[in-house]
Amino acid sequence: MVSASTLAGDPITGAPDCCSGQRASIGGLKVMTDNGWFAARPSGTEDAYKIYCESFLGEEHRKQIEKEAVEIVSEVLKTRNTF
């Protein structure tokens, strides 16, 4: 689903599309590295998506994660039109 191999300069270590154990869809996209992560999911009330992100290194790194998250989500939506 995700073609990027890095996020904010760090190798992507995971991009699950379902909950472990039950194999139920997470209803969005999550991308993880050793130093941070982001999750994107469709809004339940409007034609938009929300991005949540966290950096374990600081605010500048979090901003880079957020910027690249928008790019990754846009690419996924171009090819799939949904999460």
Domain that residue 27 falls in: 6-80
The pLDDT score that the predictor gives to residue 80 is 77
Residue 34 lies in a domain: yes
Residue 27 lies in a domain: yes
Q: Which residue from 20, 61, 78, 46 is spatially nearest to 38, judged by alpha carbons? A: 61
The pLDDT score that the predictor gives to residue 21 is 57
The pLDDT score that the predictor gives to residue 70 is 97
In the chain (83 residues long), the average pLDDT of successive 10-residue segments reads 93 77 68 97 89 98 98 89 66
CATH of the domain at 17: 3.30.310.50
Counted domains in the chain: 1
The pLDDT score that the predictor gives to residue 44 is 84
Residue 32 lies in a domain: yes
Residue 19 lies in a domain: yes
Q: Which residue has the tokens 């270590």?
A: 13
The pLDDT score that the predictor gives to residue 11 is 98
The pLDDT score that the predictor gives to residue 83 is 62
**E-strand spans in the chain?**
6-7, 10-11, 29-33, 36-42, 49-55
Residue 30 lies in a domain: yes
pTM metric for this prediction: 0.84
CA distance 6 to 12: 5
Residue 1 lies in a domain: no
Residue 73 lies in a domain: yes
